[in-house]
Amino acid sequence: MKIDVNISFDQREAPRWAQNLTKTVSQILENQEKMIMPTLDELQAKAEATLAAVTAETDLNNAIAKIVNDQRATIVDLKAQLEAAGTDAAKLQALSDTMDAILAADTANDKIVADAITANTPPA
């Protein structure tokens, strides 16, 4: 069983404080959804910011994964070259030169990764 009771009165006959209270409650009810619920534009802005953060993190993760995978391939290749070189001085020198070049590239990669991490890491 449901009972609804509706009481109304002529506001012109109500005391001034009751009229002010009614007006205030009406304003609160009108603004309730505006104040509690974010606007669609606010939600869109938050969604875009989240997407940008996820994209930046994904790009950074992919860059780091590529460096790690490339390093693994380089180590496997160097190991094969070392075994093939045996004791041949010219081949060993060529391998040493290659390793020096890899070291130089690694140093450059370290800076690239460090710069990317710094640029894409939000402050604490």
Cβ-based neighbours of 117, under 8 Å, separated by 6 or more: 60
pLDDT in tens, 3-55: 777 767 666 677 777 777 888 888 777 776 666 666 778 888 888 888 888 88
User: Is the pLDDT assigned to residue 106 strictly greater than 70?
Assistant: yes
pLDDT of residue 33: 60
Q: Is residue 32 part of a domain?
A: no
Cβ-based neighbours of 91, under 8 Å, separated by 6 or more: 81, 84, 85
pLDDT of residue 35: 61
Q: Is residue 90 part of a domain?
A: yes
* Global confidence as pTM: 0.40
pLDDT of residue 24: 84
Domain around 66: 38-120
Closest listed residue to residue 72, CA positions, set 48, 96, 102, 28: 102
User: Is the pLDDT assigned to residue 110 strictly greater than 80?
Assistant: no
Task: Quote the percentage of the chain above a pLDDT of 90.
Answer: 0
Q: Please state the domain count of the chain.
A: 1
Are the CB atoms for 81 and 98 separated by under 8 Å? yes
Q: Is residue 21 part of a domain?
A: no
Helix, strand or coil for residue 52? helix
